[in-house]
Amino acid sequence: MIITLQDVGRRYNREWIFRRLSYTFSAGKKYAILGPNGAGKSTLIKVLTGSLSVSEGNLTYETFAQKQVAVDAVYNHITIAAPYMELIEEFTLSELIDFHFQHKKYLDGFNKESLLSLSYLEDARDKEVKHFSSGMKQRLKLVLACCAQSDIVFLDEPTSNLDAKGESWYQELIDQTIDASRILVVGSNQPKEYAFCDEQVDIQQYKHFK
């Protein structure tokens, strides 16, 4: 999968969040979208996932077979973990995993049991998600995003609510699930979350335009 942005901008009312952004995201690379809180990292990720439209410019998606993917169909090719993504908290963990994988296939080499083991949540399989700690919920979001088949994985503030042990686990999760066939996009302002990335996009460089 290739994502191409040509002079892309997004604004709310009269305020430009970013503008004149041209960039290409290619399979096999890991990208960090950087900037301070409130700079527009999450807005750019929402544009890249198709949940927000561009205000100007062109955004295109292309498969390995050089076929264009419509913006309203790109959800078939992506997974995402982000603070603004809600979990269905009335479900038990087991029910939520089953529901998620009715819509996505497991990444090769993974199944329900290996996902539970990887996330260290085996003992919580019959527990309602609303009773999870914030760290447990974050691990769950991350494994659902990384362990499902997708061409592009978006992780916004991936270590939020994780302790030092959870941060080390996050690095291991990336190593085990992100290979040369996928694009990884990390939204962050913390080096520990994106130190492994190949390229960086500083959103601040695209904010000073009228």
Q: Are 56 and 9 in contact (CB under 8 A)?
A: yes
Strand ranges (E), the chain: 2-12, 15-26, 30-34, 56-62, 68-69, 78-81, 152-156, 183-188, 199-202
Q: CB burial class (10 A; 0-12, 13-18, 19+) of residue 37? A: exposed
- What strands, in cross-sheet order, belong to the sheet with 68-69? 15-26, 2-12, 56-62, 68-69
Gap between the Cα atoms of 70 and 138, Å rounded: 30
Span 111-131, pLDDT tens digits: 999 999 999 999 999 999 999
Gap between the Cα atoms of 195 and 113, Å rounded: 30
Span 84-101, pLDDT tens digits: 999 999 999 999 999 999
Gap between the Cα atoms of 199 and 182, Å rounded: 15
Q: Are 186 and 33 in contact (CB under 8 A)?
A: yes
pLDDT score, position 65: 72
Banded model confidence at residue 178, pLDDT cuts 50, 70, 90: very high
Phi, psi torsion values for 53, nearest 5 degrees: -85, 160
Percent of the chain with pLDDT over 90: 89
Among the listed residues 153, 130, 182, 204, the one whose alpha carbon sits nearest the alpha carbon of residue 1? 182
Mean pLDDT of 40-50: 95
Banded model confidence at residue 38, pLDDT cuts 50, 70, 90: confident
Banded model confidence at residue 72, pLDDT cuts 50, 70, 90: confident
Q: Are 35 and 205 in contact (CB under 8 A)?
A: no
CATH number at residue 113: 3.40.50.300
Tell me the residue range of the domain where 191 lies. Answer: 2-206
- Give percent helix, percent strand, percent coil of the chain, each to the nearest 5: 35, 30, 35
Cα angle 136-193-202, degrees, rounded to a multiple of 5: 135
User: How many structural domains are present in the chain?
Assistant: 1
